[in-house]
Chain A
Amino acid sequence: MAETSKPGSDERLQPAAAVLAFVLPGLGHLHLGEKQRGICIMVGVLGLFFGGVFIGGVDVIDSKEDKWPFLAQAPVGPLAFAVDWLHQNKLKANDPPPGASADWFRDNKPNRTKSLSHVNEVGWLYASIAGMLNAICIIDAGWHAPRRRRKDDTPKVVGKMDVA
């Protein structure tokens, strides 16, 4: 299992990994053989995305009413578009026309509740951050440059060499 990148050995464009990273978060790194990294990305991005939908309801993924947040959510991949399609076509709550009567509400029962205030804001924030983080992961998988070495990763010198 190759969890680390060898400097200079694999610094090249990986279009297949980039496409796979867009199809499903973490799949690009799994394709490159970085199993643990890929799983952590998958759990993190999908956890944030579905965490946002859990908090704010399906209303937080809305390409028509919340166009700008959806632009940030879109890099999560086909999942974001699928949830948006489901929302637009199956679950959209229609706003009542001006002066709607009780009969209108009886005939047009909303099949979900619209989220408002903090739960809506935090919900779309979760999903938007998931999308932006996955954009970073797509770039990382697509241009598989060696990771910068941190000081902690370099082998520690245990003691001074005795020169006789």
Chain B
Amino acid sequence: MMLADLVINSTPDTVHAWRPFLDPITLTGGKWWFLLIPLAFGISMVYKAVRLHKMKRYWREVLMMTIQIIGTMILLAIGIYLFVELFVPWAEEFV
């Protein structure tokens, strides 16, 4: 059976609406990077809850750590981009 027949025959039965927690979310393009922001926030929440002596400055510390993680990831991305795009082509000339 051809692939087209397979799709046509199976579509009405198998296609269903998105169900949260069962089906993955649909992300197109480069949007998946934005998922790293809540990840950094969650890591900061748990880490600072364990680490801090007093909980008085908790949310401020969480925010600071989140910004530090995201900032470091951006700097690493820039560093790797420059390494691949500039340094590697430049170094190739000497090999």
- Give me the interface of A with B, judged by CB distance under 8 Å: 3-5, 29, 36-37, 40-41, 43-45, 47-48, 50-51, 53-59, 91, 101-102, 105-106, 109-110, 112-113, 115-116, 118-120, 122-123, 125-126, 129-130, 133-134, 136-137, 140, 147-150, 152-153
Contacts and interface: CB of A to CB of B under 8 A. Distances in A.
B54 A126 contact: no
Contacts, number: 122
Given A51-B38, A102-B1, A122-B35, A148 B46 contact: no
B46 A137 contact: yes
Given A48-B39, A105-B10, A133-B47, 10 more contacts: A29-B49, A45-B46, A48-B46, A55-B25, A58-B21, A119-B25, A119-B32, A126-B39, A148-B53, A152-B57
Contacts of A113: 22-24
Interface bin, chain B: 35 or more
Contacts of B58: 36, 40
B43 interface: yes
A54 B21 contact: yes
Given A37-B55, A106-B10, A130 B20 contact: no
A57 B23 contact: yes
Contacts of A3: 54-55
B21 A130 contact: no
A57 B24 CA distance: 4
A41 B49 CA distance: 6
B21 A106 contact: no
Interface string B1-24: 100011001100110000111111
Contacts of A112: 19, 22-23
